Every structure is written in C-alpha cells, then in structure tokens.
Amino acid sequence: MNADPDQYGVVGHPVGHSRSPFIHGLFARQTQQNMVYRLYDVAPADFRIKVAEFFAAGGCGLNVTVPHKVAAAEFASELTPRAERAGAVNTLARQGDKVLGDNTDGAGLVRDLLTNLDVQVAGTRVLILGAGGASRGVIAPLLELAPSELVVANRTADKARDLVSLFSDLGNVRGCGFEDLPLRAFDLVINATSAGLGGGVPKVSEVVVGPATVCYDMSYGRADTPFVRWAWDRGCARAVQGWGMLVEQAAESFQLWRGVRPDTGPVLRVLESTAP
C-alpha cells in the first residue's frame, strides 16, 4: 500500500498565476518522488498563522513568493547563510521540529544567466530595478560574479540605499532612486519590480539600455512582459523573461526538500512551450 504523498506548495498573494505546481509536478515525475504541490493564496495579515498551520498539519515544504519573502525569513526558526544574508526567504523546509528558511533565487538567477543564457557578468556594469524581496536574494550571488559595478535603483531611494548597505562588503554596490541613475547604458539590466503585474514598467530613463545591453525580467508570461517589450523598443541586444530563473530556483528548492536535483533542461523546454 502506497504511503500518502508528502505535502508541498507555494504561498503568495496573488498566486493563481504561479507555474510552480506544474514545475514541481514535472520534477516529481522525473525523479519518482511521492509528493503533491499546491497553491496557497494567503494575505499578508494571515501569513504567519496559515504557514504555521501548514507545517503543524505535517506539511514538508513551501515556496514563498510576493509579498511574503521577508515575512518568511522572520517565520523560519533557522536560516541558511544565503537566506540570512538576503534577509528574505523563498523556500521553507520542515526539518524535525524546526523550519529552515533558504533563498534559492540568487542561485537560480545566476545559473540561468551563466548556463542557460551564456551571459557574461564578471567585469560588467549591472543594474537591478527594485529593492524589494526579489532583489534581496540576488544581490550577493551577483556580486560574487565580480561585476565592475552593481547599482540597485528603486522608486524610493532610501530603500535602495538601505538595502545595498547590507552587501557593501561584497563588492562595488550602491543604491539610488530611479531619477538618480547615471545617464549611460548598463551591460545587464534586471527588472526585479512587480510593475509588470499591473501592465507597467519601472520609471527609469531609456538611456540605461544601449545596443549591447542584456535585459532580464524576473517576471514571465507567454507573451512578452511589459518590461521585455520596453527593452526591445529601446534597442537592447537581448531581452529575456524569467522562465529560466523560475525553473532553476525551483530545482534548488526541490533538492533541499527531496535530496535529489532534477534535470532542469527538459522542464524548461516544456514550460516555455506550454505557458498560458
């Protein structure tokens, strides 16, 4: 008689658009894991109690997405070094009577850039748009690749400056407001804002994008995202959505939960071809 499947899921608000159940379903079949993965739409005010209920009922692990990544770091009873550095968590894993918090976003982004997309980061000028939970997880891994400069720009300049102060020991990083960006092109521009969910783009000068710029949107969709369209319209060299990051960070989470790393290539190809 088969045992009941282990319980996993993703918690966010909203979360109905998430492709994580599809991805983890493919991972589970590929690696023959007995598990189910569900969506949990939880408002910020209910996050702590709903997540506690999930684990108390025997749940094994959760992915965490907007807007709960900082709250998840506060919820976890222990953090991995990369989650502690980020101050944000996108993966929760029950380990005995504790809940471990990890952040796989940066590893997922770096693997997508370097392995899937063959993008050079060392020695380049990198711009991250947005200073929220999505940015927190990727700054340290990007700085470890030794860009010549990393700038985090945000609608509220103080929030960007406060965020980068946590990483100033890792490299040449600074924060500023959108309106304070230097008027020259960056080599890599990463959109970590949620503006695209409302059909918008960050309000930055178009001169940050040049003919050699690679533009990367952490968001994704079947059609080009608003940021990707904006980037193409400004003559960038390349503009890509965050499908690869989504799959690669999911694989990192899956490995933490199940002790086996799935092959991401086939899953990414299926995902891109079947995206809604």
Q: How many CB atoms lie within 10 A of CB 233?
A: 11
Q: What is the DSSP letter of 125?
A: E
User: Going by C-beta distance under 8 Å and a sequence separation of 6 or more, which residues neighbour residue 45?
Assistant: none
Q: Which residues contact 175 (CB under 8 A, 6 or more apart)?
A: 131, 151, 152, 153, 154, 157, 159, 160, 161, 162, 163, 164, 165
C-alpha span between 238 and 212 (Å, rounded): 8
Nearest to 103 by CA among 71, 63, 46: 63
Q: Which of 50, 69, 98, 203 is catalytic?
A: 69
Q: Which two tokens stand for residue 205?
A: 């000068």
Q: Which two tokens stand for residue 165?
A: 């102060």
Look up 69 and say whether it is catalytic.
yes
Q: Report the catalytic residues.
A: 69
